[in-house]
């Protein structure tokens, strides 16, 4: 990461986001299962998966669940309804009361959407650590992804991650849900590039057929190759393959340790480029290795928890 990116990401700690499971806040059975799953993060959904006449009930269920469930080793995100809906204020009141790790804003199309929520959160002294995630799921959202991501440069923005929403994007563009996502790749990469330009994490969209784990695995491999940090999931069966594809491989871990050890060798002190087995390795590769090894430590620490 460049020094410029580091300067505005000081409030965005590194986290595991290989598997981001979305759970309807209205579904008691799904909520109860969450504590036994090995996902890195959970999105508790108050938006699309909750009918209009069940929104208040969903907020009540979610508040009770978050006040009693032990999710200390998973990131907790609440997806709220948009600011132009009658549910927004009550959703935000719930978020500020239960204090999750982040609030997920749906269908973000302009930077002002993020800033308005950041300002609302900033009025609450107890919400200092609350971050913002933004769903990019419309043509305007994709076109404005760089402008939205750039709002994360301000110290009070709280913007931490993008999440792709392809179901709405397919509907708006008329692109069918075909294997390989051929005609969507350009849009996906545009959002990845915007996120990386401004130091944000970026989460790939859901795969709707949770029974076809082979197709899901292929989509995970594609998303990892495109640079996504993880994938939004809709079923517990998708957690393990998502962790596998977006987690570091044994070969990558071994390479990272080799590079890290080489740059900590006193013989290479002060060098920005060194020779490892006939390959020229730069210090930026050592920084990448350190980040990968830090994630390995987080994964191992989670495994050690009861």
Signed CA dihedral, 79, 84, 87, 88: sign only: positive
Question: What is the C-alpha to C-alpha distance for residues 34 and 67, in angstroms, rounded to an integer?
Answer: 14
Annotation: binding site for substrate: 79, 137
**CB-based burial, 262-274: b 16+ in 10 Å, e otherwise:** bbeeeebeeeeeb
The answer to whether the CB of 114 falls within 8 A of the CB of 148 is yes
Beta bridge partners of 45: 24, 79
Whole-number Å distance between alpha carbons of 221 and 118? 34
Q: Which residues contact 76 (CB under 8 A, 6 or more apart)?
A: 41, 42, 44, 66, 100, 101, 102
Residue 154 C-alpha from the chain's centroid: 19
Give the separation between CA 119 and CA 123, rounded to whole angstroms: 7
- Decide if 167 contacts 208 (C-beta within 8 A): yes
Q: DSSP character for 169?
A: H
Tell me, letter by letter, the H, E, C secondary structure of 24-75. Answer: ECCCHHHHHHHCCCCCCEEEEECCCCCCHHHHHHHHHHHHHHHHHCCCCCCE
Residues tagged in the binding site annotation for Mg(2+): 137, 168
Phi, psi of 136 (to 5 degrees): -105, 105
**What is the C-alpha separation between 13 and 281, in angstroms, rounded?**
27
**Cα(200)–Cα(117) distance, rounded to whole angstroms?**
17
């Amino acid at each position: 990461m460049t020094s410029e990116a580091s300067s505005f990401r000081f409030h965005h700690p590194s986290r595991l986001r290989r598997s981001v499971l979305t759970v309807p806040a209205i579904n008691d059975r799904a909520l109860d299962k969450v504590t036994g799953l090995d996902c890195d993060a959970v999105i508790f959904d108050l938006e699309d998966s909750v009918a209009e006449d069940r929104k208040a009930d969903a907020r009540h269920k979610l508040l009770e669940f978050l006040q009693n469930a032990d999710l200390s080793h998973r990131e907790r995100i609440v997806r709220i309804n948009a600011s132009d809906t009658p549910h927004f204020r009550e959703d935000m009141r719930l978020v500020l009361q239960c204090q999750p790790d982040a609030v997920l804003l749906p269908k973000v199309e302009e930077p002002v959407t993020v800033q308005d929520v950041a300002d609302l959160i900033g009025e609450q002294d107890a919400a200092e650590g609350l971050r913002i995630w933004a769903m990019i799921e419309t043509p305007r959202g994709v076109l404005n992804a760089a402008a939205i991501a750039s709002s994360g440069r301000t110290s009070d923005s709280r913007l931490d991650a993008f999440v792709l929403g392809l179901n709405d994007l397919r509907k708006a563009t008329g692109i069918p849900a075909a294997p390989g996502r051929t005609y969507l790749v350009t849009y996906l990469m545009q959002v990845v590039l915007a996120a990386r330009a401004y130091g944000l994490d970026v989460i790939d969209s859901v795969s709707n057929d949770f029974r076809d784990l082979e197709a899901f695995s292929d989509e995970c491999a594609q998303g990892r190759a495109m640079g996504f940090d993880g994938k939004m999931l809709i079923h517990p069966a998708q957690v393990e393959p998502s962790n596998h594809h977006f987690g570091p491989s044994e070969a990558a871990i071994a390479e990272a340790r080799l590079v890290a050890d080489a740059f900590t060798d006193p013989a290479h002190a002060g060098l920005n480029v060194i020779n490892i087995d006939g390959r020229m390795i730069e210090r930026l590769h050592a920084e990448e290795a350190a980040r990968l090894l830090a994630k390995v430590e987080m994964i191992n620490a989670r495994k050690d928890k009861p």
